[in-house]
Amino acid sequence: MNRWMFSILLFLLLGAAGCAVVQGKSRAEILPSRLSWLQDTPIEEIASSQLTCETHPEIVDGNLETVATFDVRGTVTKKYDIVEQQNARSFGRGQYVTDLDGTIRCEIVIKLEKPTYVSTVEVYPASRIPNLALSTTLEASGHYVGQSGTGFKPVHDKQHRSVESTTKPVKFSVEREVLYLRVTADATEDRQNATRIDDEEIDIPLKGASIREIKLYGKQAL
């Protein structure tokens, strides 16, 4: 190899090494790693202006005085029926059998302005909330919102816990990126407004639980 060829080869090697150093420095300074971002960014309340709820706007308006109530999509009917006994000498005994039309499960869906790392969710109950549960998704299509089994991932912390009415919030640990937050709970029987059809049938409406506010805390990318 002559001196001219050696000089060209040395120039190319030095140039490639210099680019690698510059590129590595650029990535470190301009594009911080995701782990570093999660560690260095403080946990803050996500402003209510970045949250929307089409069906229940009161739940994310930042005002603890307003109340949102789950919409109910089911009814309960109790019918008097004769249950046969195994003993042939018995004529049977009567009891009410409960029929559910629709679903006892209610839901409210909250949308964030953009995908955001959510650390904690606080739910401020305004009534008893049976089997309270949270789930999340990053799906941007509204087609998936509000439909069971379409990409929502459950939040396992305090899943299906029954909450009593209290002035203190119930805190859920989420620790993931969220675009949609779905809050679900069971409806309860409104026995005070039950209607007796006859001596053998009673229609009982269902009523949804009430929530004053839902607050989200997390980290937003710079």
Mean pLDDT of 48-68: 96
Domain identity same for 57 and 154: yes
Q: What phi, psi does 206 have (nearest 5°)?
A: -100, 150
Mean pLDDT of 74-89: 67
Spatial CA neighbour of 218 closest among 169, 184, 161, 179: 179
Domain identity same for 70 and 174: yes
Number of domains, the chain? 2
Half-sphere exposure of 167 (CA within 13 A, CB side): 0
Indicate whether 90 belongs to any domain. Answer: no
- pLDDT at residue 194 in the model: 85
Indicate whether 89 belongs to any domain. Answer: no
Q: How many helices (H) and strands (E) does the chain have?
A: 2, 14
Q: Take residue 209 and report the two structure tokens written for it.
A: 């639980």
- Compute how many other C-beta atoms are within 10 angstroms of the C-beta atom of residue 75: 16
Asked if 98 and 77 count as a contact pair (C-beta separation under 8 A), the reply is: yes
Mean pLDDT of 38-52: 86
Helices (H), 1-118: 3-30, 34-40
Asked if 104 and 186 count as a contact pair (C-beta separation under 8 A), the reply is: yes
- pLDDT at residue 3 in the model: 55
Indicate whether 98 belongs to any domain. Answer: no
Indicate whether 80 belongs to any domain. Answer: no
- pLDDT at residue 76 in the model: 86
Indicate whether 159 belongs to any domain. Answer: yes
For residues 11 and 19, the model is more confident at 11
Q: How confident is the model at residue 199 (pLDDT cuts 50, 70, 90)?
A: confident
For residues 24 and 164, the model is more confident at 164
Q: What is the mean pLDDT of the chain?
A: 79
Domain that residue 23 falls in: 3-31
Asked if 76 and 202 count as a contact pair (C-beta separation under 8 A), the reply is: no
- pLDDT at residue 22 in the model: 37
Indicate whether 199 belongs to any domain. Answer: no
Domain identity same for 14 and 58: no
- Residue 183: give its domain's CATH number: 2.60.120.260
Indicate whether 167 belongs to any domain. Answer: yes
Domain identity same for 60 and 121: yes
Separation in Å, CA 222 to CA 4, 31, 116, 124: 50, 11, 11, 29
Indicate whether 122 belongs to any domain. Answer: yes
- pLDDT at residue 27 in the model: 40
Domain identity same for 25 and 68: no
